[in-house]
Structure 1
């Protein structure tokens, strides 16, 4: 059917194939037949083909590469779903050779008009980063751009990419913090989870702790009289903790999400309040967490784990909802255990009687593991609440007669721990346990009874030797843990009652000497040398009693969740109680409040009143005080057009961001006051103005105010790949600074990185260079250690040409010191790197333009641009001084149409100076 000429049959076949994939069946054998339909014009069929390719493109990489040109064409498709699907398939091909293509596709998709495509670009960022981590810097630029996006569809995806690529770059979040807080309610559910997690970490680094709610007022006036001082001490004023407005914004924005239908969202908000909110506000998460206990078992397990951690520190939060943690017969064992843990944490003097009645029921459960956990919980309650210790001990002694061996064994273990607190008062319990010793078969319980009898043998002097005698008969049939306790019991009785137990002890030591387990043999050898005096070991035997019969501290029975608060709630690390891969620790509160102005978003100064007036339709009158209001309409119009400049887009985004955050910052009010203080100015445009008048007005505006500097990011180019360079990687970029070596040279900075395992020595440039080009070499680098980098500077005279400067890069390897490695490399200059800008008035430009037309036949004629500049038109580098002020990209963005004409004129002048043509532009 996939090979059929009828599209209806192909569509039916693809539906069946996608159905097989949904059921988890393998359909990879159909890849060649499916990929043939990737260029089909049927929209529904193409969507299904892309769904299939996303699933199997990583497995069938070779066949997917054959259609890569089709995917690139699909990136320009009018349908946003096709563009997004093409990018998704392209990012699913895990082949390093197409990394540049993926990078270019992601950058284009990040500027797409469709938010769905931009969302897909954010997803592709993570795939590209996992494929090639060297693209991190370029990906951060895309992330920074997408973080400014106003679409709720993009917010969650780009924050996920931020967490994956550069979670430590919190400077990218500052200006987008308030926007993310305001958009949080409208973001998709899983995007909300990611954003809340990121904002939790951000808040712990940018706000001070809200848990220190009351601070002493240190600025109170000094009392002059003793009576005043006493009054001041008795009624000293305190001032409340002042929460940062942005901190309050985060809490206020996330509070409604406690009613979300998504469990993960509720859990994320709960952990945010637990880690960030003041203590008196944390209680609002209790009802939401209890509500989640009605969900599936998997959800209950995660929620109960987090509640167990919270209940250790804040018992009062969940005490009113204690009945919600009562165990049901339908609960799974792990759910029962967690509820039992929470009930134990919530137990106190007021509710212990209710809790113990519940525990009595749980002990009778058919689930042996749950019954054993209940006995441990009873022991913890007896340890934490001293008033019920005796009651719990009596109840545990009654359980020694239970038919279930597991219950009896666990009771013995818990009794042993409780008796260590006050053994002298409970010698009758030890005697009772000794009588039940023959009926107990669980090794751990038998070992616990032996340890008790040996530890407190002085309280039961008549029973202890008889128990040792019985153990000597069954020694070879006992478990290893029981044998070890038998040896210890024999040694203690030998020291306290050697007359009755000397022969028994020697017999047991002889049995242990030839036991199969080496631990028992070692213990036997140690005990023999310790308690039996000899000529060599007599000094040690003097301290045998102090060693074996030293008082042992009582064990501390505590919750298994006591130390889990070191992990952030709701994370995988908290669930596993172990640091998982990719876990980001929650930082401590800063001691001092960081600068909160970093989150203020100001309107860009480039949007001046004069340029704003020029953006309005012809014949429109503008008042300078209404500039900010009209600015939004201009920005909306500029966004609808496809040719608007980047500077205009950035200014419009900044202004919108500031308007959104005006409720949380006073920066907007201050700017409004400043604008009102300025005198009103009106710019009128008559309907009869033509293109020439518009151009003249642009000139006047620019001459009145110089354009602000424009930051241009530095572009880095690869000079030598680490694989080709035997571990040496080299990159270069043009510093755009005057060269200190020669005025005719271009300054180039090289960065060398040693990615290998051996030290590189004597990195230098050979004397072989391209003809007609001069290179000022950098000083040789004597040594470059592994995983180290060094940056050097060199000068290159390209001889007024765009041809690449080729030379040889030489190194010495330490493990092949006698052999010099040479690599042929080249530096390719961009045309813009050879140009030098200059600023001149319109009158000077018109004058020079007239001189150019007059002397076009003389190539070596000298022109005067200004008193400081004399140059020859035959020189490419010198002639480029004719790059005028209107080539400033910021001005081009502000005055689009008039400057296109002026840019054409400037290019014409440039070509005339270089080629001497008179008929380039009329």
Structure 2
């Protein structure tokens, strides 16, 4: 019903257009033009809602041509043409003569509109017809036509870069930068040159000085472009720097925040090599930035505050006297308040820390939970950075008694960091910690911090072992960070209070050794084997007090802040990270192209790594256990050292004296089950396939199975390290050979193959590891699909096992160094 109605309306419009085209020269021409406008409006409306009107092309063209020089009809005609240009290139070719003719019209509006429409066709086969009108437009007497022509250069540049360069259009634009009298034309020239990769040519004295002298003639957006271009200019002398700043000083008072921020960036970058002047510039820009923050435009205020924070981190002393400016107001949104707290923590020093901490303490009682958390964090950072200021630590300890769970949790986390920086304050702080019970802390991070304090300072907290006992009883229900912290704390406390922690350590080791998380399991095995090898060495490794630290990994380094400062007035400042961390570069043509088939590598990864024939038949866990026993015992048998025996030992190891002391059984010694080949699938240990045959099969076969597997950071590190050797060796041990591997971070490609025993067909595998997405995309092909599902399960276990292999290997290497 709807289609027949549309066809009827289309036929009606076609009839109307034909009638109006024939009436173009009649005495009622004005009435006909009005009627044509109404029909054209109806056509444009239909295009807007997605109805295809391309079948009316000839009637529309005929009707518009007979309408003379009516500008309104011309605009609608050009819109119609550009709407169907890319979808109907053959019909578009018929409009070239009309558009080219209109580019020479006496009316500059029609000339500009026609030229803009001509450039918007975006058809590579029409480039030759567009070049000449653009060059004429660049020399046009009217500024509107020149503006349109300049932007047309960029549109054609994206279609035919070499053609634009050979025609000398970019050189023409550079000449227009200083010769053209219209400011908007100059601004368009700058924009096109920058996007065409010729922005370096704008940083010359011959261009910078004229642009600065006429900067007031530009629009606000164009002023920002000029200032951005000048910020990359290197003045030849200090006097030239002062001249530039004198010319632009009034831009700091501009009503537009973008102009002010661009000017601030220019001033800061020009004076980087002039420290005294740079300090004066920082003083000078404080007032303009404060003015922008005081406005009620919160989005703008947030961007300015982010830049304030960056500057304050570089020179906190300059802002220490205006700290009250950054106090929170009741009506401000939470994201503004959070950023202000970061600034207050950054500018706190001996002169204002107490006042700032007093203000932050008021925020801790706020109804907004996030603000209260941020306030506690800010007080903690001030206590860490500003040493020996009375009352700061006491305020932080007072937060433990507020009765609000999230405040207590944040205070415990900050106290842990404070003790890491200043161990000397432990005596005055631990009495408050001893009044807390594990039931008072719910959040995993805070529980882990509380456990760390008990383990590190347990000799001074009388009830420390007994506070840890209920946590040990519910070991399996705790989060992974809590389990790891509990394992470390109990082990450390065992060396300081052995009688009270003997059974506690045994129960924690037993629970951790059977934990499903590989990190917890491996840490338990490491501590157990250290204790069996040498109690003294185990105490040195796991029981020694931690040294005080001067820098936390979460803090930004000065080098990172310098990189962000280089990108001042960009999104990098707001995100607090260099742009390379959140902007993906366009992939190269090689990376974009999907290879039809892999080509064998000529490097060391072209063939599978050499593995001992006997060890190739062992599972990964069995190889690890063999390595453990060999490296730690240093030539002695597991029985001689009292260590757990390998998984293929005929009998379990006897219960040792250490097991008896800690109340453990030999269950701790059993290794974690290794991934095995699925039932019914037996792969040849050393398959052989030529590169040519692999390539031919890969190109001819369709994917039999494809899946994406998320990978943890440790697995990604294992894949990337040492030329992918860990991954390739793991695959080889399972009977999966490597044909080719390589790629460039963050994307790596692997082409592998395997051959089930008693079968003639190979299984071919492509693996694409994307570090950015933390995943691996696997494609399996084979002429015989009966083994594909089982093989896919085996391959998943190979990838999943990399995380555990890398973690365990790191722990074992530490134990080996200890033994030597």
Question: Normalised by the shorter chain, which TM-score bucket?
Answer: 0.5 to 0.7
Structure 1 residues 65, 432: CA separation in 2 closer, same or farther (over 3 Å shift)?
Answer: farther
Distance in 2 (alpha carbons) for counterparts of 1:201 and 1:47: 41
1:439-838 → structure 2 map (5 Å cutoff): 439-460=440-461, 462-530=462-530, 532-533=531-532, 537-538=533-534, 542-554=537-549, 556=551, 563-566=560-563, 567-580=566-579
1:590-641 superposed Cα distances (whole Å, 9 cap, x missing partner): xxxxxxxxxxxxxxxxxxxxxxxxxxxxxxxxxxxxxxxxxxxxxxxxxxxx
1:403-424 superposed Cα distances (whole Å, 9 cap, x missing partner): 4322211111111111233435
Structure 1 residues 350, 145: CA separation in 2 closer, same or farther (over 3 Å shift)?
Answer: same
Which among 177, 190, 207 is matched to residue 147 of structure 1? 177
Q: Which has the larger radius of gyration?
A: 1
Distance in 2 (alpha carbons) for counterparts of 1:452 and 1:321: 37
Partner of residue 622, structure 1: none
Corresponding residue SS for 1:420: helix
Distance in 2 (alpha carbons) for counterparts of 1:583 and 1:136: 32
1:159 aligns with 2:185: no
Would the aligned equivalents of 1:341 and 1:559 in 2 still touch at CA under 8 Å?
Answer: no
Which among 107, 118, 123 is matched to residue 90 of structure 1? 118
Partner of residue 260, structure 2: 266
Which among 139, 157, 177 is matched to residue 111 of structure 1? 139
Corresponding residue SS for 1:542: helix
Partner of residue 72, structure 1: 100
Segments of 5+ residues of structure 2 without an aligned counterpart are: 1-12, 21-31, 272-276, 584-598, 600-691, 693-820
Would the aligned equivalents of 2:400 and 2:432 in 1 still touch at CA under 8 Å?
Answer: no
Relative to its length, the structure with more strand (as a share) is 1
Structure 1 residues 124, 561: CA separation in 2 closer, same or farther (over 3 Å shift)?
Answer: farther
1:195 aligns with 2:226: yes
Distance in 2 (alpha carbons) for counterparts of 1:18 and 1:381: 63
Partner of residue 812, structure 1: none
Partner of residue 331, structure 1: 332
Would the aligned equivalents of 1:376 and 1:414 in 2 still touch at CA under 8 Å?
Answer: yes
Q: TM-score normalized by structure 1?
A: 0.54
Partner of residue 699, structure 1: none
1:440-485 superposed Cα distances (whole Å, 9 cap, x missing partner): 111111100111111222323x322212322221112111111111
Distance in 1 (alpha carbons) for counterparts of 2:441 and 2:147: 65
Partner of residue 741, structure 1: none
Which among 221, 236, 247 is matched to residue 207 of structure 1? 236
The alpha carbon displacement at 1:133 in A equals 3.1
Corresponding residue SS for 1:386: coil
Distance in 1 (alpha carbons) for counterparts of 2:381 and 2:266: 31
Would the aligned equivalents of 2:143 and 2:182 in 1 still touch at CA under 8 Å?
Answer: yes
Distance in 2 (alpha carbons) for counterparts of 1:488 and 1:154: 68
Structure 1 residues 188, 418: CA separation in 2 closer, same or farther (over 3 Å shift)?
Answer: same
1:107-140 superposed Cα distances (whole Å, 9 cap, x missing partner): 2221111122222222223222333333463342
The alpha carbon displacement at 1:382 in A equals 1.5
Distance in 2 (alpha carbons) for counterparts of 1:125 and 1:522: 63
Would the aligned equivalents of 1:110 and 1:121 in 2 still touch at CA under 8 Å?
Answer: yes
1:179 aligns with 2:210: yes
Distance in 1 (alpha carbons) for counterparts of 2:544 and 2:353: 36
The alpha carbon displacement at 1:197 in A equals 0.2
Distance in 2 (alpha carbons) for counterparts of 1:403 and 1:508: 30
Alignment RMSD: 3.3
The alpha carbon displacement at 1:369 in A equals 1.9
1:255 aligns with 2:249: yes
1:234-259 superposed Cα distances (whole Å, 9 cap, x missing partner): xxxxxxxx512xx3442233222223
Distance in 2 (alpha carbons) for counterparts of 1:61 and 1:361: 69
Distance in 1 (alpha carbons) for counterparts of 2:39 and 2:253: 43
Would the aligned equivalents of 1:453 and 1:489 in 2 still touch at CA under 8 Å?
Answer: yes
Distance in 2 (alpha carbons) for counterparts of 1:164 and 1:399: 54
Would the aligned equivalents of 1:184 and 1:253 in 2 still touch at CA under 8 Å?
Answer: no
Partner of residue 807, structure 2: none
Distance in 1 (alpha carbons) for counterparts of 2:81 and 2:253: 38
Segments of 5+ residues of structure 1 without an aligned counterpart are: 209-241, 585-756, 758-814, 816-922
Partner of residue 33, structure 2: 7
Structure 1 residues 174, 426: CA separation in 2 closer, same or farther (over 3 Å shift)?
Answer: closer
Partner of residue 287, structure 1: 287
Partner of residue 101, structure 1: 129
Would the aligned equivalents of 2:312 and 2:319 in 1 still touch at CA under 8 Å?
Answer: yes
The alpha carbon displacement at 1:282 in A equals 4.3
Partner of residue 300, structure 1: 301
Would the aligned equivalents of 1:363 and 1:372 in 2 still touch at CA under 8 Å?
Answer: yes
Partner of residue 124, structure 1: 152
Corresponding residue SS for 2:421: coil
Deviates more, 1:104-113 or 1:309-318: 309-318
Would the aligned equivalents of 1:430 and 1:453 in 2 still touch at CA under 8 Å?
Answer: no
Distance in 2 (alpha carbons) for counterparts of 1:576 and 1:59: 41
Structure 1 residues 151, 400: CA separation in 2 closer, same or farther (over 3 Å shift)?
Answer: same
Would the aligned equivalents of 2:46 and 2:53 in 1 still touch at CA under 8 Å?
Answer: no
Partner of residue 270, structure 2: 276
Would the aligned equivalents of 2:150 and 2:185 in 1 still touch at CA under 8 Å?
Answer: yes
Structure 1 residues 569, 380: CA separation in 2 closer, same or farther (over 3 Å shift)?
Answer: same
Deviates more, 1:80-89 or 1:515-524: 80-89
Corresponding residue SS for 2:367: coil
Would the aligned equivalents of 2:203 and 2:230 in 1 still touch at CA under 8 Å?
Answer: no
Corresponding residue SS for 1:243: helix
Paired residue total:
539
1:422-441 → structure 2 map (5 Å cutoff): 422-427=422-427, 429-436=429-436, 437-441=438-442
The alpha carbon displacement at 1:61 in A equals 5.9
The alpha carbon displacement at 1:337 in A equals 1.4
Corresponding residue SS for 1:329: coil
Relative to its length, the structure with more helix (as a share) is 2
Partner of residue 781, structure 1: none
Distance in 1 (alpha carbons) for counterparts of 2:41 and 2:324: 51
Would the aligned equivalents of 1:58 and 1:93 in 2 still touch at CA under 8 Å?
Answer: yes
Corresponding residue SS for 2:231: helix
Distance in 2 (alpha carbons) for counterparts of 1:44 and 1:500: 93
Partner of residue 243, structure 1: 239
1:244-297 superposed Cα distances (whole Å, 9 cap, x missing partner): 2xx344223322222323221121111111212432244333222222221422
Q: TM-score normalized by structure 2?
A: 0.60
Partner of residue 871, structure 1: none
1:206-259 superposed Cα distances (whole Å, 9 cap, x missing partner): 435xxxxxxxxxxxxxxxxxxxxxxxxxxxxxxxxx512xx3442233222223
Distance in 1 (alpha carbons) for counterparts of 2:470 and 2:144: 79
Distance in 2 (alpha carbons) for counterparts of 1:63 and 1:322: 67
Structure 1 residues 362, 583: CA separation in 2 closer, same or farther (over 3 Å shift)?
Answer: closer
Distance in 1 (alpha carbons) for counterparts of 2:83 and 2:291: 37
Structure 1 residues 383, 17: CA separation in 2 closer, same or farther (over 3 Å shift)?
Answer: farther
Structure 1 residues 510, 64: CA separation in 2 closer, same or farther (over 3 Å shift)?
Answer: farther
Distance in 1 (alpha carbons) for counterparts of 2:74 and 2:413: 68
The alpha carbon displacement at 1:582 in A equals 13
Would the aligned equivalents of 2:108 and 2:142 in 1 still touch at CA under 8 Å?
Answer: yes
Would the aligned equivalents of 1:490 and 1:504 in 2 still touch at CA under 8 Å?
Answer: yes
Distance in 2 (alpha carbons) for counterparts of 1:330 and 1:54: 49
Structure 1 residues 27, 490: CA separation in 2 closer, same or farther (over 3 Å shift)?
Answer: same
The alpha carbon displacement at 1:152 in A equals 1.1
Would the aligned equivalents of 1:365 and 1:371 in 2 still touch at CA under 8 Å?
Answer: yes
Would the aligned equivalents of 2:96 and 2:129 in 1 still touch at CA under 8 Å?
Answer: no
Structure 1 residues 328, 206: CA separation in 2 closer, same or farther (over 3 Å shift)?
Answer: same
The alpha carbon displacement at 1:45 in A equals 2.7
